[in-house]
Amino acid sequence: MFNKITMNDTIRIDPTRFGQPLEDAAYEELREKYEGLVDEELGYVISVVNLTVNPVGRIIPGDGGTHHPVTFSILTFFPELQEVMEGEVVEVADFGTFLRIGPVDALLHVSQLMDDFISYDEKQGVLLGRESGRTIQRGDLFRVRIVAVSFPRGRSSGKIGVTARQPFLGKLEWIEKESKDSQPQQKEVVES
């Protein structure tokens, strides 16, 4: 889920940035501090937006920079357990696929793809279901449910695990075909 969160902080403006407009310098400092951050409470911080910086700063003895209170918003992506999302296959391997959901990649393990024996064709970079004939390759679109999320501290990417082995989950083409096949056929009534 994407969120826009408003936060308060105090930032240090380095003396090398004193010639810049204050808002530009503050924006650069906030981007360096927050963008790309992965946090248990915030999720994946994508971007800093809408900042207001107090022009009255403080000088701390022994520090040549100025410290300014700032209010700003950040755009985040916070994957929640059991959330259903759609993503594109960005990598196929013998153990499964990686789907791009939001700004990150999630692992869709072969055991969570479908109810079929799956083989990997390394030459074509394709996973193939033996009995169903279904294939998975780069660029395919999937609907999945998030089943595992781990948030490490700092700038590491974390891990997201997903499944497609539930009703109305899987490759979008498969879902569409199953939906059409399950709808009752309408009979035409011909009057004579």
What pLDDT, on a 0 to 100 scale, did the predictor assign at position 41?
87
Whose tokens are 């879902």? That residue is: 175
What pLDDT, on a 0 to 100 scale, did the predictor assign at position 99?
95
Going from the N-terminus, what domains does the chain have, and what CATH number goes with each?
2-77 (3.30.1490.120), 84-179 (2.40.50.140)
Indicate whether 192 pLDDT > 60.
no
Burial 138-167 (b: 16+ CB within 10 A, else e): eebebbbbbbebebeeeeeebebbbbbeee
Q: What does the pLDDT look like over 140-191, one tens digit per residue?
A: 999 999 999 887 765 566 789 999 988 889 999 988 888 877 776 666 666 6
As a whole number of Å, the end-to-end CA separation of the chain is 57
The answer to whether 55 and 13 have CB atoms below 8 angstroms apart is no
What pLDDT, on a 0 to 100 scale, did the predictor assign at position 141?
95
User: For residue 172, which of 131, 134, 132, 116 has the smallest C-alpha distance?
Assistant: 134
What pLDDT, on a 0 to 100 scale, did the predictor assign at position 138?
94
pTM of the predicted model, to two decimals? 0.76
Q: What are phi and psi of 95, to 5 degrees?
A: -95, -5
User: For residue 118, which of 106, 134, 98 has the smallest C-alpha distance?
Assistant: 134
Mean pLDDT calculated for residue range 5-12: 95
What pLDDT, on a 0 to 100 scale, did the predictor assign at position 39?
84
User: For residue 26, which of 155, 18, 3 has the smallest C-alpha distance?
Assistant: 18
Mean pLDDT calculated for residue range 82-88: 95
The answer to whether 12 and 67 have CB atoms below 8 angstroms apart is yes
What is the SS3 assignment for 16? helix
The answer to whether 36 and 75 have CB atoms below 8 angstroms apart is no
